[in-house]
Amino acid sequence: MKYLICMALVMAAFFPRELSAQETKWTLSDCITYALENNAGLQRQVLLTETAAVNLTKSKMDLLPDLNLGSDARVGFGRSIDPVTNLITFKQNVSNSYSLNSSVELFNGFTTLNTIAAGKFMLKAGLESEKVARNTLIVDIMGQYYQVTYAKGLEAAAKMQMELSERQLFRITRMVETGKESVSKKYEMESQASGDRLTWTIARNNASQAVTQLKQMLQLQSGVEFDIQLPDLDLIMISNTGYETDSVYNVAARVLPRLRAIEYELEAAERQLAAAKGQLAPGLSAGGAIYTGYYKVLGENTEDQASFASQLKNNNSQAVYLSLNIPIFNRYSATRNIKLARIRKSDTELRLELEKNNLYTEIENACLSYNRGKQEYLAAEANLEFNRKSYNAVEKKFESGLVDVTDYSAARTTLFSAETEALRTKLQLVIRELTIRFFLTGEYENPAIN
């Protein structure tokens, strides 16, 4: 009976058992929100994006001049040059020098500019990859959430069947006690009730396992009580929309982050190839420096030598320079980098083509599955309604003694199969429609079950 499953789910949703202080009921939105905030895999993807941002900042800073301050101190023994007289001396001395220099690259074959452009595209690719990881996590949780819903629906239906069997067993037992029924019929009903109890136990264990898998997917800490808030299946509407593969793909190819991420990587690969080629061009740089220092001969009268401050002032010198670097032979380094960059670009192009083919295949399968699943769902609903009427008639005949336990059990088994099939086809249809909506929007937002 369809109303058995619905009644069980509604009762579980709106009249839950008493919960401990730690246990709460999680909706699908609760599961998704928690996972997006706490999933370690998603957090790692965020760190990769932050790495791309740091690399981009570094490449931008390469446009700026560098500035370095240097100093050294030494004690001289034996033969050395006196920086004051510029003569050879063998006297022990102490010297201290200071320098401030700066340089800027004027031209390097546009390598820095192309590296900056590549970094921008890699950062965009990282942001899109975050969306891909986010959506993958959501669809995994959504699929497992519906699996839990289905398992709990089977558990509720099995429990209802078990309770009906126990009720019939109690009725027949009373009739046997009054001599209105034979003992053999009681034994048959006991066997049926025992089988239904086994079916319910298996369904309950399967539901518990499904809940555990969802809990593990959410990466909840051990010891945390977890269960889901069961939805009202009657509130899940099945649309009459049909989907065409080409129409869905044309939209998905523009909006899905999984394609945009590779497209940005391809743009970055083209810029990286240009940067590698720039290594073959001449390099031009300019710079300047300021030098000063202090010199003292040990063991001589310090009055004859200039003070530290005056020497730093008097020994001050400046220089500017322009440097040209023309690469002639670099041990295959530049050529190797160009070939590797070209290989990466070709590989990214192939990845993009493969991803487009995979996406089209996924969309085609999703559209076909939805359209076929809709037909299955309608057939399952019609079959459920027929079996419900048939079971009601058999149940009345059984209570009147017109049919035996075997016929009654067969009718109930057929009804249970129809109930589970109707539940399965409906939940599968909901998942498939949400998947197609994702292809059309690139986002999993406002899930149907809350």
Query: Does the pLDDT at position 13 exceed 50?
Result: no
Q: How far apart are the first and last CA of the chain?
A: 25
Tell me the C-alpha distance between 324 and 438, whole Å: 55
Please report the pLDDT score of residue 21 as a whole number. Answer: 32
pLDDT of residue 274: 96
Query: pLDDT per residue over 63-107, tens digit each?
Result: 999 999 999 998 888 888 877 777 888 888 899 999 999 999 999
Provide the pLDDT for residue 301: 66
* Residue-level pLDDT at 18: 37
The beta-carbon contacts of 32-38 under 8 Å, at least 24 apart in sequence, are: 32/138, 32/141, 32/142, 32/444, 32/447, 34/218, 35/137, 35/138, 35/141, 35/217, 35/218, 35/219, 36/134, 36/137, 36/138, 38/218, 38/219
Ranking 8-12, 178-182, 234-238, 404-408 by mean pLDDT, the lowest is 8-12
Q: How far apart are CA 213 and CA 141, in angstroms?
A: 10
Tell me the average pLDDT across 250-258: 90
Mean pLDDT calculated for residue range 394-420: 83
| pTM for this prediction | 0.81
Query: Which pLDDT value is given to residue 299?
Result: 73
305 pLDDT above the threshold of 80: no
Is residue 72 packed enough to be buried (19+ CB in 10 Å), middle (13-18) or exposed (0-12)?
exposed
Considering the domain 2-441, what is its CATH architecture?
A: Up-down Bundle (1.20)
Residue 69: the pLDDT is 96
**How far apart (Å, rounded) are the C-alpha atoms in residues 371 and 242?**
7
* Greater model confidence, 152 or 446: 152
pLDDT at position 235 is 67
> Which band of pLDDT confidence, cut at 50, 70 and 90, is reported for residue 266?
very high
Most confident of the following: 120-129, 177-186, 372-381, 385-394: 120-129
Residue 234: its pLDDT value, please?
Answer: 67
d(C-alpha 281, C-alpha 287), whole Å: 20
How sure is the predictor about 267, in pLDDT bands with cuts at 50, 70 and 90?
Answer: very high
pLDDT at 209: 95
Q: Which residue has the tokens 């034996």?
A: 78
Residue-range domain boundaries for the chain? 2-441
Taken as a whole, the chain contains a residue count of 450
Q: What are phi and psi of 34, to 5 degrees?
A: -65, -45
pLDDT of residue 335: 93
Mean pLDDT along residues 384-402: 86
Q: Report residue 237 as tokens.
A: 């509407």
Query: What digits encode the pLDDT tens for the residues 213-252?
Result: 999 999 998 778 899 988 776 666 677 677 899 999 999 9
Q: Is the pLDDT of residue 447 over 80?
A: no
| Mean pLDDT score of the chain | 86
pLDDT of 448 higher than 50:
no
Reduced to 3 states, what is the DSSP secondary structure of residue 448?
coil
Half-sphere exposure of 243 (CA within 13 A, CB side): 29
Work out the average pLDDT over 296-308: 76
- The answer, yes or no, to whether residue 17 has pLDDT greater than 60, is no
φ, ψ dihedrals at 154, nearest 5° = -65, -40
Separation CA 293–CA 124 (nearest Å): 50
CA atoms within 13 A on the CB side of 321: 12
Percentage of the chain beyond pLDDT 90 is: 48
With a cut of 70, say whether residue 384 has pLDDT above it: yes
Query: What is the C-alpha radius of gyration for the chain, rounded to an integer number of angstroms?
Result: 39
Q: Is the pLDDT of residue 296 over 90?
A: no
pLDDT digits (tens, 9 = 90+) for 28-68: 889 999 999 999 999 999 999 999 999 999 999 999 999 99
Q: Using alpha carbons only, what angle is made at residue 291 by residues 285 and 326, rounded to the nearest 5 degrees?
A: 20
pLDDT of residue 202: 95
pLDDT at 10: 34
User: What pLDDT band is residue 320 in, cutting at 50, 70 and 90?
Assistant: very high
Residue 10 or residue 157, greater confidence? 157
Closest C-alpha among 127, 137, 148 to residue 210? 148
- The yes-or-no verdict on residue 449 having pLDDT over 70 is no
**Whole-number pLDDT of residue 330:** 87
